[in-house]
Amino acid sequence: MSEYVETSRTSGSGGPGAAPTGGVLTIADVLALPVLAAGRPEVVTGVTRLDRPVRWVHITELTDPASFLKGGELVLTTGMPLPQDTAGVRRYVDELADIDAAALVIELVRRYHRPPDPLIQACRTRGLPLVTLAEDVNFLEVTQVVHTLILGNQADAMRRTQRVHEAFTALTLRGSGPEEVVRAAAEMSGRTVVLENLVHQALICEPSGSTVDEALTGWEQRSRATPPGDRTEVSGPESWLVAPVEYQGERWGRVAMLPPPSGTPAAASAAFVPEDVTVLERTAMALTIARLIHTTPWERTAHRNALRDLAGQRHHSPEDARARLAALGLPTEGGLFLAVLADIRAEDDGGAESRLSQELRTTGVPALVGILAPGRLGVLLALRPSQPWRPVVERLSRIALDLCPEAVVCVGPEVTHLSDAARSFRAAARVAEAALPGRQLREGRTFLELSDIGLPQLLYALREDTRIQDYAERQLGRLIEHDTRHGTDLLSTLRHYLDAAGNKTTAARLGALSRETVYQRLRTIERLLDRDLESGEQRTELHVALTALDVLRLG
């Protein structure tokens, strides 16, 4: 069995006789074509280099064919022009290797019946694939078939490139943001694409054929091992395809296209093709335009999106969440995490976001800050295990109150795992929903937490529930209607009585009434509501209804 037949099983050509169907034509593809397979090709040297691209086929009987070549050619010869002496053979091969010919194919029919040893040694030394043909082959037919395929592939490549240009032009014309641009690049290439800033923080990751965890784990260290370049090129130990993102000499970051993870089926065809280069170059250009159109810094947008996904539990897995936030520079292991929500009804949410971010950088507390919704800022604090969180939140609260006197800052519980951060955000959101107008903070406090939710706050959070509204109306409706018709104020007397825990003397003092008047009013209240005010349970029911009425009127 010839060496070629054995190796062609893994060449990716589909086996002998299978014609390639697009992409870059390789030596293995050409040798598998019926027109050449009929000559019983055997790879003598360079068996590991059959994936080299063939850009053209050149038939030659000259002693110096390299002077007519440009590189990438499959050189076909009958062997007639080969020099007789070893030095001449070595010079012949050196010239082909220097011009970067794809391979030398020699027909063993007319002059030779086995390749000369000097030719084999020279090709092996220079790494030039040498292929022999045991049968007569029509070289003109070979060139016709191969050139047709090459030109067809080039036409396909041009059409694909045109589609890439049209797609990115459409993205630019509709003012797409960086997330949409990176997503389009990943979809077009079928590869993971990452946008990073100048300090190697991964701002946007669009995985394809891998997970965020696989793409971003250890991102900063891996990225720093991949040298920056001034053009689109394959670089670094992992062979990333990278392109700078810049404008008028000012570099803003770079975009990287990653090969499939090793060990995956796609890793066997991991080499980047010219179309990938086109996609990445257009991605870098579109990102430059997007940055000029959308003035929000990439880092701020990345923090917002990461916080929204974390609070909404939209990550595919806890590992993806950790990798993404670690790639943004947030410590994700061995600490405590705390969610903070700041409802700041200010005209400039972005300004408030910037102020809080600056304060946290000043204090040295790792955190993500971002707008979660209009008027609501989210903060995720990453604290050391022994670090108290209250002083940090107090400082944030004071800034929020300085920006907006009506600001409300709410805190969720501490959690030890990043995967539980969503629970802390949900708890902070419940506190925010229950915050009464005017804040009603405890003395010396500038923020609210779960322990601040009492009955009024709970009922305020549930004020839109019709069951709460129905309950308050059933309990107190007749009393309110009586006050409206008769101009009385029995509702206030009931409030004072309940606030005094059933003490009529205290109720009289609170209402500036005589005890006899209070007794008379309480009897009227009992008759109207059909209630026994001496019953602690019924007083509790009325107290809940009255509290609900108060918060409903606030709402």
484 phi and psi angles, rounded to 5 deg: -65, -45
Cα(157)–Cα(35) distance, integer angstroms: 24
Above 60 in pLDDT, residue 9? no
DSSP 484-531: HHH---HHHHHHHHHHTTT-HHHHHHHTT--HHHHHHHHHHHHHHHT-
Write out pLDDT tens, residues 91-108.
999 989 998 899 999 988
| Tokens read off for 467 | 């069951």
Above 80 in pLDDT, residue 63? no
Above 80 in pLDDT, residue 24? no
Percent of the chain with pLDDT over 70: 91
Could you say which DSSP state residue 421 is in?
Answer: H
Write out pLDDT tens, residues 44-57.
998 888 888 888 88
Residue 520 to residues 498, 500, 504, 508, 516, Cα–Cα distance (Å): 16, 17, 11, 11, 6
Q: Calculate the average pLDDT of the chain.
A: 86
The pLDDT of 218-225, averaged and rounded, is: 95
As a dihedral over the C-alpha atoms of residue 302, residue 308, residue 311, residue 314, rounded to 10 degrees, the angle is: -90
Write out pLDDT tens, residues 323-377.
999 999 999 988 899 999 998 876 667 788 888 888 888 888 899 999 998 889 9
Write out pLDDT tens, residues 230-250.
889 999 999 999 999 998 889
pLDDT at position 545 is: 93
Write out pLDDT tens, residues 264-319.
545 445 678 888 999 999 999 999 999 998 888 899 999 999 999 999 988 888 99
The answer to whether the CB of 346 falls within 8 A of the CB of 377 is no
Q: In what order do the strands lie in the sheet with 103-107?
A: 41-45, 130-133, 103-107, 73-77, 56-59
pLDDT at position 5 is: 33
DSSP 34-48: HHHHTT-EEEEE-GG
pLDDT at position 554 is: 81
Identify which has the larger pLDDT, 11 or 553.
553
Band of pLDDT at residue 206, cut at 50, 70 and 90: very high
Above 70 in pLDDT, residue 445? yes
Q: Any idea which of 79-93, 206-220, 402-416 has the lowest mean pLDDT?
A: 79-93
Above 70 in pLDDT, residue 469? yes
Q: C-alpha 396: how far from its chain's center? A: 28
Helix axes 515-529, 490-499, angle to 10 degrees: 100
Identify which has the larger pLDDT, 281 or 36.
281
Cα(363)–Cα(376) distance, integer angstroms: 22
Residue 307 to residues 46, 180, 184, 302, 377, Cα–Cα distance (Å): 53, 18, 23, 9, 10
Cα(152)–Cα(166) distance, integer angstroms: 21
Q: Model pTM?
A: 0.67
E-strand spans in 361-461?
367-373, 376-383, 408-411
Write out pLDDT tens, residues 399-433.
988 888 888 899 999 999 998 999 999 999 999 99
